[in-house]
């Protein structure tokens, strides 16, 4: 018989704490550590040791979170006092929390269900139908149990892709899973997105995520719900929320690779495209001729994305022309090699970059637009 104290309630549905908590719940449920009630109102811990171990593993994958002035004044001291640690990171809080459970048993969970805490600003932001986002009124007080705060913050840290500093505010980007998505696949998309800077052009990002989709043969093209949150002063406000898509790149690449003769050819194509993305990231801020390689790769990605979505041959021929020009730019390629060798494991040679460019020229001969499929 399962003891009542092994039950943890979900946070209220109208705040993002619910979505973040659910990420943790789905991850733990994937291997039987917990079970989730049919109405998604509570979880039941089935294996206490695995619960603690898996929470610590998840915490090690999280990114630092933003806290408001009021959070630091009222919420954080309460959390630190309860879990008995002077540290101020999610990772350390989860370690202290799980160590208490391992030492004293499930009574800690029962006690923390009754321990009410004012919600941190990040957890009480409100999400509306993946299209409109509003902050909860600054006068509205959202109360959560300590379990909900800890698991909610853990889910936020795990789902955070990164942050951009804009004028006087920070904008953090989170990725939420879509219904029915494998939680392992969802986590792998987050890890993949963290490998590129937050401010890369949309077309480069689309190609980058499509390469991860190739690992799964994932033709859905939609890989999550991307949420942008403005974090300033004493509140966090959802300012954008949308289904995240590779805008057809996934469709076209999966379709193309299904026609290649061998897995070796698919592996080579992926290696070449990944090298070009790494070349763009490494050389985009270069102060010498290597910047020309980055500009050419960015232009290629934009033109290819336009071709995929419109079927216009003008975009295809312009992409081909861009690649041929940079292939002939020996100085730009030579200047990029030492920069890439410093950031990519193993020595990068001029021949490697030229091979990657030639692979993209070859790709343009066979890749098909998806505009007709969408219609």
Into how many domains does the chain fold? 2
Range in 94-98, 163-167, 169-173, 198-202 the model is least confident about: 163-167
Q: What is the mean pLDDT of the chain?
A: 90
Of the candidates 175, 190, 162, 189, the residue with the CA atom closest to the CA atom of residue 65: 162
Do residues 178 and 254 both lie within one domain? no
Per-residue pLDDT at 132: 42
- Alpha carbons 33 and 283: distance in angstroms, whole number: 45
Mean pLDDT confidence for 4-32: 91
Do residues 165 and 281 both lie within one domain? no
Query: What are the pLDDT digits (tens) for 44-89?
Result: 999 999 999 999 999 999 999 999 999 999 999 999 999 999 988 9
- Alpha carbons 182 and 53: distance in angstroms, whole number: 21
Query: What are the pLDDT digits (tens) for 141-182?
Result: 789 999 999 999 999 999 999 998 887 788 999 999 998 899
Query: What are the pLDDT digits (tens) for 306-349?
Result: 999 999 999 999 999 999 999 999 999 999 999 998 888 778 89
- Alpha carbons 328 and 149: distance in angstroms, whole number: 57
First to last CA, the chain: 54
- Alpha carbons 32 and 217: distance in angstroms, whole number: 27
Do residues 346 and 309 both lie within one domain? yes
| Six-digit token string for 259 | 């026609």
Q: Which of 245, 265, 287 is the last residue of a domain?
A: 245
Q: Which of 199, 216, 245 is the last residue of a domain?
A: 245
Query: What are the pLDDT digits (tens) for 251-289?
Result: 898 888 887 767 788 888 999 999 999 999 999 999 999
Per-residue pLDDT at 373: 52
Q: Is residue 225 within 8 Å of residue 176, measured between CB atoms?
A: yes
Q: Which of 228, 245, 262 is the last residue of a domain?
A: 245
Burial string for 175-198 (b: 16+ CB within 10 Å, else e) reads bbbeeebebebbbebbebbeebee
Q: Is 373 exposed, middle or buried (0-12, 13-18, 19+ CB in 10 A)?
A: exposed
Per-residue pLDDT at 323: 97
Mean pLDDT confidence for 212-224: 86
Question: Which single residue is written with the structure tokens 């009574």?
Answer: 107
Do residues 43 and 76 both lie within one domain? yes
Give pTM, 2 decimals. Answer: 0.90
Res. 128: pLDDT tops 70? no
What are φ and ψ of residue 119, in 5° steps? -65, 135
The domain containing residue 177 runs over which residues? 4-245
DSSP letters spanning 291-317: HHHHHHHHHHHHHHHHHHHH--HHHHH
Q: What percent of the chain has pLDDT over 70?
A: 93
Q: Is residue 185 within 8 Å of residue 192, measured between CB atoms?
A: no
Do residues 133 and 84 both lie within one domain? yes
Do residues 269 and 126 both lie within one domain? no
Cβ atoms < 10 Å from Cβ of 200: 18
């Amino acid at each position: 018989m399962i003891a009542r104290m092994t039950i943890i309630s979900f946070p209220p549905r109208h705040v993002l704490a619910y979505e973040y908590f659910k990420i943790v719940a789905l991850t733990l449920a994937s291997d039987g550590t917990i079970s989730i009630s049919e109405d998604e109102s509570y979880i039941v811990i089935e294996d206490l040791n695995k619960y603690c171990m898996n929470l610590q593993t998840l915490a090690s994958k999280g990114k630092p979170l933003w806290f408001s002035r009021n959070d630091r004044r009222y919420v954080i001291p309460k959390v630190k006092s309860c879990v008995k640690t002077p540290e101020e990171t999610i990772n350390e809080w989860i370690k202290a929390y799980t160590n208490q459970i391992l030492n004293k048993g499930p009574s800690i969970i029962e006690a923390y269900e009754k321990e009410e805490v004012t919600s941190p600003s990040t957890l009480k932001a409100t999400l509306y139908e993946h299209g409109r986002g509003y902050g909860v009124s600054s006068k509205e007080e959202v109360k959560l149990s300590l379990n909900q705060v800890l698991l909610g913050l853990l889910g936020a840290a795990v789902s955070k892709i990164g942050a951009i500093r804009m004028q006087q505010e920070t904008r953090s980007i989170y990725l939420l899973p879509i219904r029915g998505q494998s939680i392992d696949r969802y986590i792998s998309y987050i890890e993949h997105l963290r490998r590129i800077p937050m401010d890369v052009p949309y077309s480069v990002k689309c190609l980058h995520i499509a390469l991860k989709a190739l690992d799964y043969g994932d033709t859905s093209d939609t890989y999550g719900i991307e949420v942008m949150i403005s974090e300033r002063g004493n509140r966090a406000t959802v300012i954008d929320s949308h289904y995240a898509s590779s805008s057809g790149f996934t469709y076209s690449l999966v379709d193309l690779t299904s026609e290649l003769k061998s897995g070796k050819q698919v592996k080579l194509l992926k290696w070449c495209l990944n090298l070009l993305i790494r070349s763009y990231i490494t050389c985009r801020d270069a102060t010498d001729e290597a910047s020309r390689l980055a500009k050419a790769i960015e232009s290629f990605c934009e033109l290819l994305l336009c071709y995929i979505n419109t079927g216009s041959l003008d975009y295809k021929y312009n992409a081909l022309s861009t690649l041929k020009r940079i292939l002939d730019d020996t100085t730009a390629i030579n200047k990029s090699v030492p920069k890439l060798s410093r950031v990519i494991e193993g020595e990068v040679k001029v021949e490697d970059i030229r091979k990657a460019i030639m692979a993209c020229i070859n790709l343009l001969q066979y890749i098909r637009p998806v505009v007709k499929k969408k219609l």
